Amino acid sequence: MASLREVAERAGVSTAAASRALRDRPGVSRETRSRVRQAARELGYQPDLRARSLRTSRTHNIGLVVPDVMNPFFSEVARAVGDVAGQREYSLLLGNSDGLRNKEEEFVNLLLQKKVDGLIVFAATSASQHLERARARGLPIVLIDRKVPGLDIIRADNEKGGTLATSHLLDLGHTRIGLITGRLDLATRRDRYNGYRYALIRAGITPDPTLVREGSVRSDHGYGAALDLLNLPAPPTAIFATTDTIAMGVLLALEERSVPVPEEMAVVGYDNTYLTVICRPRLTSVAQPKQQMGRWAATFLIDWIEQGRADGDEPVEVVLDPQLVVRESTMPGVRALQGRDLPLSGVGRSGS
Amino acid sequence: MASLREVAERAGVSTAAASRALRDRPGVSRETRSRVRQAARELGYQPDLRARSLRTSRTHNIGLVVPDVMNPFFSEVARAVGDVAGQREYSLLLGNSDGLRNKEEEFVNLLLQKKVDGLIVFAATSASQHLERARARGLPIVLIDRKVPGLDIIRADNEKGGTLATSHLLDLGHTRIGLITGRLDLATRRDRYNGYRYALIRAGITPDPTLVREGSVRSDHGYGAALDLLNLPAPPTAIFATTDTIAMGVLLALEERSVPVPEEMAVVGYDNTYLTVICRPRLTSVAQPKQQMGRWAATFLIDWIEQGRADGDEPVEVVLDPQLVVRESTMPGVRALQGRDLPLSGVGRSGS
DNA sequence: CGGGTTGACGGAATCGTTTGCGCTTCCTAA
DNA sequence: TTAGGAAGCGCAAACGATTCCGTCAACCCG
């Protein structure tokens, strides 16, 4: 309500002095400073951050674009990003792209007009002219899980993850391993797929395309595709679902068909979300360091915003190692997380 | 990059004319308009929304304060709020309060300084001077699931929900019913508790305080409290967990102790998040219309922002009816959601 | 005593818009 | 012919901060 001018008037000084006084800048005497402070307190003065930002060209807002906050994977990363941002005095403008190119583009453009200081964007589409344009305008952008030449990115090694999952199944003696995945036009999914193929080939097994089901990452696709695989003349003995959400659908299908897991069908998921310990059997899954990814992305972005770049715009690519977390869906009796570990982040809190 | 002035210069008109031209305001001739448009296109002009907002005192940003986006309940409501906001051309500034009073207050103050057009705040603490202050400054605020005199609110009828859950258990023949809940200083939780007591009393049963466990809403509390109840000389035969997340911990404890659910222990949760159909046995839960709550809150808030209020500031309280969704954790074999319904929102999508 | 340094402060421009108001110009109707 | 209206347009004042730069007084020192 009260503006700087009113504060200045009440303290009997100019707005320039008042501004300096309130922000502890030099050029104001001791007593003037306290007089201004006093006036500000009396008026309940709060600076108008958008006016400040107009002048300083810093909004202290960063944009975060995710496909869908409702997905446990994204909400966990989003949470980590939000925490770091909050600590460093930035706010988050959040948008869901639903993996749709035009939604993402529209939102990014809006954020540009709102003059965010930086952008964190999740894998959505592979096309990305709007991102390159934004980058060209000097906007700091960090990508998560999406590779675009010339842009900075943090991602987990998805090919390695795919190999990890597949090798685990191979080690258990499986040779016919099905793959259920979202659309393969996205680099990260393609990588997982390649990792799967690589592991098979390395083990001397020719990948069998009839065991691969491409679709969405929704659990209903997992459900349908799993039934589909079961109906094959020679069904697989194990399924690698490239997403925990898909795996949920797979488990449901197997349960309905009374196929014992892991005895007659082993299942591996990906992302290691908290879903893995809620379902039964508990799901073996490839873990990405979600928190770390979020925290790193936010930290890197904000450092970039505040200190510029030391490396002369050389695009950075951080690749993190995935890790396999073995649970009951591949090895009977293995729990991986004991009882008291349950309050995994995310299922930890509620409130309504 | 390009400002309105540059556009105006290039088109050979004043910024005033340019502004009017670009926003389709009257007072500009046909040809001037198209000349300005042309210039804008050539320069790739995008209006600076923060400058506009400084002048118009509308930021088209709204603040959303939730305890924790990682919680399925909140992320679903947040998603609904975001969708409505997006459609109506508002962006979301998101913050997590962790149910902590000072975090919430700090964030709300920041949003005030950033001059959001309105605020949607979830139940966190019961204290709320900062909210009243903000409201007094004329800021539109809608509360979800928290009652503060004088402020507008949308909530589900938690007392009724508590009664629903408890009566269901009573109908099944249970008489010793445990309650595991988060801290009762929050009105919504207290309401559920009261509903529980009410149902018992109505059935002629004296509520037994030794069957009540107050703590956090994390699943570990559910886990510990359930074990605790099992160790009682006369343990309950049913447990009402006032949150699905708590119920997850309860189910785990029962599984570890090999207590068959629902035969020897029935369990009811609350919120009807997608967790309920992933766990085994599937969880009976009280459903709140999450989407509807989010959509209504956003719609009401934005209408308020844009059209003011017709009702002369008479605070509105919308109370929605909860609904019991029965599943296997109380009645053997009952699924409530069939296979093809699985892709419940939230588990539906993924992406990484 | 004079010149130079230092520190406190204010004026005014600026960030990029929107908009009230007044000035032209031109058209039309009496 | 002229009054009156309407349409098109620009000036300049906002919105609320930050900041460059100049002024002024006080002070120190040789």
DSSP string, B62-104: EEEEES-TTSHHHHHHHHHHHHHHHHTT-EEEEEE-TT-HHHH
Could you tell me how far CA A31 lies from the centroid of its own chain? 50
B328 plus B231 within the same structural domain = yes
Report H helices in chain A.
Answer: 4-11, 15-22, 30-43, 49-56, 72-87, 101-113, 129-136, 158-171, 187-202, 219-230, 244-256, 275-278, 290-307
SS3 B47: coil
Same domain, A162 and A249: yes
Percent of chain B at pLDDT exceeding 70: 94
d(CA A213, CA A224): 10
- Of residues B164 and B129, more confidence is placed in B164
What's chain B's average pLDDT? 91
* Residue B298 DSSP label: H
DSSP H helices, chain B, are 4-11, 15-22, 30-43, 49-56, 72-87, 101-113, 129-136, 158-171, 187-202, 219-230, 244-256, 275-278, 290-307
> What pLDDT score was predicted for residue A338?
45
| Per-residue model confidence (pLDDT) at position B352 | 41
pLDDT (0 to 100) of residue A126 = 67
Nearest to A351 among B123, B219, B342 (CB): B123
Quote the tokens at residue B164: 């629903």
Residues B218 and B337 in one domain: yes
Residues B223 and B197 in one domain: yes
Q: Is residue B47, in this structure, part of any structural domain at all?
A: no
Closest Cα in chain A, distance from residue B35 (Å):
23
Q: Is residue B5 part of a domain?
A: no
Q: Do both A180 and A266 map to the same domain?
A: yes
Nearest of B254, B220, B188, B227 to residue A347 by alpha carbon: B220
Residues A89 and A202 in one domain: no
Under 8 Å between Cβ of B82 and A96: yes
In-domain check, residue B150: yes
Residue B248 and residue A342: Cβ atoms within 8 Å?
yes
| DSSP at B292 | H
Tokens matching residue A347: 């299922």
Evaluate whether residue B348 is within a structural domain. Answer: no
Q: Which of A321, A274, A313 is closest to A75 using CA atoms?
A: A274
Closest CA to B39 of B57, B55, B17: B17
- Please report which confidence band the pLDDT of residue B93 belongs to, taking 50, 70 and 90 as the band edges: very high
B84 and B226 assigned to the same domain: no
First CA to last CA distance, chain A: 33
Mean pLDDT in residue range B55-84: 95
Q: What local confidence, expressed as pLDDT, does residue A185 receive?
A: 86
Q: Identify which of A50, A68, A123 has the shortest CB distance to residue B50.
A: A50
Chain A residues whose beta carbon lies within 8 Å of the beta carbon of residue B280? 279-280
User: Helix B4-11 to helix B15-22 angle, to the nearest 10 degrees?
Assistant: 100
- Distance set, CA A272 to CA A72, A263, A269, B62 (Å): 10, 21, 7, 33
With CA atoms as reference, the chain A residue closest to B2 would be A137
Residues B177 and B302 in one domain: no
Given a cut of 60, is residue B349 above it in pLDDT?
no
Phi, psi of A182 (to 5 degrees): -80, -175
* Inside any domain, residue B134: yes
- The separation, in Å, between residue B56 CA and nucleotide D8 C1' comes to 24
Q: Quote the pLDDT of residue B275.
A: 94
- For residue A194, the model assigns a pLDDT of 97
Using the CB atom, is residue B54 less than 7 Å from strand C? yes
The region of weakest confidence among A152-161, A231-240, B70-79, B123-132 is: B123-132
Residue B77 has pLDDT above 50, yes or no: yes
Output the pLDDT for position B104.
Answer: 93
pLDDT at residue B124 in the model = 64
Pairing of strands A91-96, B266-271: unpaired
- A293 near A80, Cβ under 8 Å? yes
Q: Does B219 share its domain with B332?
A: yes
Same domain, A272 and A180: yes
| Ranges of chain A whose pLDDT falls below 70 | 124-127, 335-352
Tracing tokens 């925490």 back to the chain, one arrives at: A83
β A238-241/A212-215 pair status: unpaired
Q: Rounded mean pLDDT of B97-104?
A: 90
The average pLDDT across B286-313 equals 92
Q: Tell me if B10 is assigned to some domain.
A: no
Is the CB atom of residue B49 positioned under 7 angstroms from any atom of strand C?
A: no
d(CA B91, CA B116) in angstroms, rounded, equals 10
Q: What's the DSSP call for residue A155?
A: E
CA of A6 to C1' of D11 (A): 27
Length of chain A in residues, anyone?
Answer: 352
Out of B76, B91, B275, closest to residue A110 by CB: B91
Tell me the residue range of the domain where A38 lies: 4-47
Q: Which of B89, B87, B101, B93 is nearest to B69 (CA)?
A: B93
Q: Is A348 within the bounds of a domain?
A: no
Identify the closest residue of chain B to A344 by CA–CA distance: B219
CATH of the domain at A15: 1.10.260.40
pLDDT at B346: 40
Total number of domains constituting chain A: 3
Distance of CA A321 to the CA centre of its chain: 15
Å between A20 CA and D28 C1'? 27
The DSSP bridge partners found for residue A285 are A269, A325
Residue A226 and residue A308 share a domain: no
**Pairwise CA distance, residues A140 & A142, whole Å:** 7
Residue B23 within any structural domain of the chain? no
**B 55-74 residues, CB < 7 A, strand C:** 55-56
Each residue of A84-129: pLDDT tens digit? 999 999 999 999 999 888 999 999 999 999 999 999 998 766 667 8
The CATH number assigned to the domain holding B177 equals: 3.40.50.2300
Q: Is the CB of A29 under 7 A from strand D?
A: no
A288·B93 Cβ contact <8 A:
no
Q: B167 pLDDT exceeds 90?
A: yes
Do A281 and A137 share a structural domain? no
Q: How many CA atoms lie within 13 A of B269 on its CB side?
A: 36
